[in-house]
Amino acid sequence: MNDNLQLNSDGKLKHFLTIEGLDKTLLTEILDIAESFIGMSDQQIKKVPLLRGKTIVNLFFENSTRTRTTFELAAKRLSADVLSMSIATSSTSKGESLLDTIRNLEAMFVDMFVVRHAISGAAHFIAQQTAPHISVINAGDGQHAHPTQAMLDMFTIRQVKPDFSQLRVAIIGDILHSRVARSQIQALNTLGAAEVRVIAPKTLLPAHVESLGVSVSHNLNVGLKDIDVIIMLRLQKERMTSALLPSESEYFKCFGLTEAKLKIAKPDAIVMHPGPINRGVEIDSKVADGKQSVILKQVSNGIAIRMAIMAMAMQTQGAV
């Protein structure tokens, strides 16, 4: 999906649906604007008036903890009025179509939709159908994309290792079903990472994965060599339609990140995970809670990144 739909005629962000088609300058601008928000969380009054008077609706058709709450906090810190809708408890479950739900919310003078949906392309569809003044942010669509997660990951990496051109990044685990991995690979390649390496069993890799711009390893002991950034992924069991693995314990033995395996990477490598983490399945607790882990930092950074993207899409970041 190449989304010129994301940019307005001046090349500014209008919707944020996928990393694909966005250039390095724009991704860097997102990171820089997020940087300007990062200190705010320590202040006594954690608010700026950038989106005062704007109405944002979080439309979550799929469960979420981190993404939904950090979007909500981000909107509140920008002084927007924010409404979070859990669709399991709304009219779509009574048979109302997605488009009817959107039309009804539009009639309430909404300025932005933040959308999570189990179907790939859902946010894109809403962006195409909704009124022209409304911005749409993709908070994860099926197996397709999770661009705000990828950007908060890039932000977290840049805080510790500022020069992407020096970085070898390993993404480990269920690449096949991961919208996060797809967006991360696009972001890392756009920002000029030296190498993006995927490490996974063959059954958890998409066909022709190299065409995404990655190198491939099926062996964690070999694949972790020279790595600066380790990104672990959850087994997306809800998306597995057949048995792709012998067992979770077998998977952990081969692809789980333990303290011993971590030593194969560079000594100052950082460990990341988009969450939710499954301890003892893809990552050992000692690593998840260890000193090389930046997993909770990723969560905190999610607020600043989402503030930046919402402000940019509403064309108000100039006031920052």
Q: Which residues bind ligand ASP (CB under 6 A)?
A: 140, 146, 179-180, 234, 236, 274-275
Smallest gap, in angstroms, from Cβ of residue 126 to ligand ASP? 18
Q: CB 199 → ligand ASP: shortest distance, Å?
A: 17
Smaller CB separation from ligand ASP, 77 or 179: 179
Least spacing, CB of residue 179 vs ligand ASP, in Å = 5
Shortest distance, position 81 Cβ to ligand ASP, whole Å: 25
Distance (Å, rounded) from C-alpha 230 to C-alpha 228? 7
**Is the CB of 168 or the CB of 179 nearer to ligand ASP?**
179
CA distance 254 to 243: 17
In the complex, which residue's CB is closest to ligand ASP? 234
> Nearest distance from residue 143's CB to ligand ASP, in Å?
9
Give the 3-state secondary structure of residue 295: helix
Of 106, 116, 131, nearest in space to 17 by CA:
116
Report how far residue 228's alpha carbon sits from residue 233's, in angstroms, rounded to the nearest whole number. Answer: 16
Round to whole Å and give the CA distance between 235 and 256: 11
DSSP 62: S
User: Which H or E run contains 196?
Assistant: strand 195-199
The length of the chain, given as a count of residues: 320
Other residues' Cβ atoms within 10 Å of the Cβ of residue 94:
6
Distance, CA of 37 to CA of 242 (rounded, Å)? 44
Nearer to ligand ASP, 223 or 274 (CB): 274
Kindly tell me the burial class for residue 169, based on how many C-beta atoms sit within 10 Å of its own C-beta (0-12, 13-18, 19 or more): buried
| Residue with smaller CB distance to ligand ASP, 134 or 180 | 180
> Token pair of 196, please?
């993006």
Q: Which is nearer to ligand ASP, 42 or 238 (CB)?
A: 238
Q: Which residues pair with 283 in a beta bridge?
A: 257, 279
> Which is closer to ligand ASP, CB of 7 or CB of 244?
244
Other beta carbons within 10 Å of 278: 18
In the complex, minimum distance from the CB of residue 202 to ligand ASP, in angstroms, rounded to a whole number: 20
Cβ at position 139, least distance to ligand ASP in Å: 8
Q: How far is the CB of 236 from ligand ASP (least distance, A)?
A: 6
Q: What is the C-alpha to C-alpha distance for residues 251 and 149, in angstroms, rounded to an integer?
A: 25
Given the complex with ligand ASP, which of 15 and 179 has the nearer CB atom? 179
Q: Which is nearer to ligand ASP, 110 or 229 (CB)?
A: 229
- As a whole number of angstroms, the distance between CA 294 and CA 161 comes to 12
